[in-house]
Amino acid sequence: MKESARYVKIIEWSFEDQCFVGSAPGLFYGGCHGSDEKQVF
């Protein structure tokens, strides 16, 4: 199993920001964002 597979990854669309927002609870604080869902993942 890859190390990255051990963490939950959440990608959601932000209507306010008009972009995808990603987070990985337990791995890092904050998040990442972008217009391409796959890249944010």
For residue 23, what are the domain limits?
A: 3-40
- Residue type present at position 27: L
Q: What angle do CA 9, 13, 19 make, to 5 degrees?
A: 105
| pTM of the complete model | 0.77
CA-based radius of gyration for the chain: 11
> How confident is the model at residue 26, as a pLDDT?
81
pLDDT tens per residue, range 1-41 = 888 788 899 999 999 999 999 999 888 777 899 999 999 98
Report how many domains make up the chain: 1
> How confident is the model at residue 19, as a pLDDT?
97
